[in-house]
Amino acid sequence: MNRIAFAAVLLASAAPLAAETHTIAPGEGAQERLQEALILAAPGDEIVLEAGRFVLTDGLSLDVDGVTLRGQSADTTILDFTSQQGAGEGLLVTSDNVTLRDFRMENPKGDGIKSKGADNIVYTRLIVTWTNGPDPSNGAYAIYPVESTGVLVDGVIVSGASDAGIYVGQSSRITVRNSIAKENVAGIEIENSRDALVENNIATKNTGGILVFDLPGLPVIGGGNVIVRNNIASDNNTPNFAPPGNIVAGVPSGTGIMVMANENVLIEDNIVSDNATAPFMIIAYTQTFDDARYNPFPRNVVIGRNIAEGGGKAPDLPGGEQLAAALGGAIPPVLWDGLSDPETAPLFVTGEFAGVSLNLKAQGQGMSDAQPSVLSAPADAPAWDMSAVGAPAELAARLK
């Protein structure tokens, strides 16, 4: 306790201090020792977790700017929340300029790592996993930055999330790259966010690989300016195990890359293979809504050069089997619901892809109203300013 009092006095003094390193070992009292270190850290400090299994009963939280929390590696430093008794996530970050790296989190009761209002955060070389595989009783999101400006997720592995493995919501200036999302409902989801870059990831064995959504009724709406490129989205055919009621519970199994609502989304240079419903699904928001700010339609979604193969053979849609049979055994790579904003074109296909339109007539209609026909989307995609897409460049300096 003396150390606490001493540290508290130091923390409270206004004089600038040299950054310190606080090393925490697993074992008896790890919950209190680690949480205390997170509370008493000064801006710039590093909290270093030794190798081993930290058995934790309560969610951790960090509210100090500029702190790095790091383990030895994602294989050797394990935060084990299997016996968690409280809090909505394993780790909650509410401060800016935080770096999280080189540890693994297992079986948090709610979400894995949530950062809220935490600008310029870096997540790197982390694993967040539910060890029992796909299960509706797993937490919703593994990596969950929300309401933040400046998000860099690089080199993480997420699995088992009952909503999205990597979920970025109501944020801007986002990069998600070099990561693996497997056996989640949604592998990677960018929701109600702008200026996001999703590249060099593998999304496999999820229900849906990569989703770009915009939903009504939230404090931040109007998602767009998103680039999805150089990813592999393969074999995302896991039956949807999301708890009913959640928006991703409506994502058909077998979805490769999906855009719902949003404006200015560029999808190019991806390999999208063996997704049984559709490699590319572009749709309007499916539910009724009451939000005058909200545009439910996709606008300027561009599907450029991609490799799409082996998809559309068993669409997880009402009447999907007949549709595939009618189209020669598989529906073509681009599936559009047929809905669009009267002012702005929904979709451009500049790659050499065939597609199908369901020709829905009104937002909110379902497959029973579909009158499928061959899609003829224009190829003269507009250009827009992409200079702000992605996390601020300086965040990469923390990937060491």
Partner 1 sequence: MRRGAGLLALACVTFGAALGHATGVDVPPVNGAAVQDAAFARNLSDYRFFTDGARQMPNSTVTPYALNTPLWSDGAEKLRFIYLPPGTQLVADGEGLLQFPVGAAIIKTFAFGEGGARRLIETRVLLHRADGWVALPYRWNADQTDATLALAGGRLDLVTPAGAAISYAIPNKNQCKTCHSKDGQVIPIGPKARNLSAAWLGQMVKVGALDRVPVGADSLPDWSAHATGPAAPLARAYLDVNCAHCHQPGGGASNSGLDLRWEQDDTHAIGVFKRPVAAGRGAGGHEFSIKPGAPDASILLYRMDSAEPGIAMPELGKASVDEDGVAVVRRWIAEMKH
Contacting residue, 19, 20, 25, 35, with partner 1 by CB under 8 A: 35
Contacting residue, 54, 70, 79, 84, with partner 1 by CB under 8 A: 84
The C-alpha atoms of residue 227 and residue 197 are separated, in whole angstroms, by 5
Contacting residue, 46, 63, 269, 274, with partner 1 by CB under 8 A: 63
Q: Which of 244, 146, 257, 157 is nearest to 207 (CA)?
A: 257
Of 31 and 350, nearer to partner 1 (C-beta) is 31
E strand or H helix that includes residue 8:
helix 2-12
Contacting residue, 80, 106, 111, 337, with partner 1 by CB under 8 A: 111
For 284, the token pair is: 């309007």
Angle at 260 between CA 255 and CA 266, to 5 degrees: 85
Of 220 and 354, nearer to partner 1 (C-beta) is 220
Residue 400: CB atoms within 10 Å: 8
The C-alpha atoms of residue 360 and residue 378 are separated, in whole angstroms, by 19
Q: State the amino acid at position 363 in one-letter form.
A: Q
Q: How far is the CB of 159 from partner 1 (least distance, A)?
A: 15
Contacting residue, 158, 247, 381, 389, with partner 1 by CB under 8 A: 247
Of 186 and 356, nearer to partner 1 (C-beta) is 186
DSSP at 379:
S
Kindly write down the DSSP assignment for every residue of 38-60, as one continuous string. HHHPPTT-EEEEPSEEEE-SEEE
Binding of residue 215 to partner 1 (CB under 8 A): yes
Contacting residue, 19, 51, 52, 61, with partner 1 by CB under 8 A: 61
Please give the residues from 114 up to 143 whose contact with partner 1 meets the rule CB under 8 A. 116-117, 136-141
Q: How far is the CB of 266 from partner 1 (least distance, A)?
A: 26
The C-alpha atoms of residue 243 and residue 129 are separated, in whole angstroms, by 18
For 199, the token pair is: 């590249």
Binding of residue 12 to partner 1 (CB under 8 A): yes
Query: Cβ distance 335 to 278 under 8 Å?
Result: yes
Binding of residue 262 to partner 1 (CB under 8 A): no
Binding of residue 369 to partner 1 (CB under 8 A): no
Binding of residue 16 to partner 1 (CB under 8 A): no
Contacting residue, 27, 32, 239, 329, with partner 1 by CB under 8 A: 32
Contacting residue, 178, 200, 230, 246, with partner 1 by CB under 8 A: 246
Please give the residues from 284 up to 343 whose contact with partner 1 meets the rule CB under 8 A. 287, 290
How many Cα atoms are found within 13 Å in the side-chain-facing hemisphere of 280?
33
Burial class (CB in 10 A: 0-12, 13-18, 19+), 233: buried
Q: Give how far Cα 36 sits from Cα of 33, 132, 221, Å.
A: 5, 31, 37
How many Cα atoms are found within 13 Å in the side-chain-facing hemisphere of 231?
30
Contacting residue, 16, 28, 86, 400, with partner 1 by CB under 8 A: 86
Contacting residue, 15, 16, 219, 292, with partner 1 by CB under 8 A: 219
Residue numbers at the binding site for partner 1 (CB under 8 A): 1, 4-5, 8-9, 12-13, 31-33, 35-36, 38-40, 57-58, 61-63, 84-88, 92, 94, 109-111, 116-117, 136-141, 144, 146-147, 162-163, 167, 169-170, 215, 217-220, 243-247, 287, 290
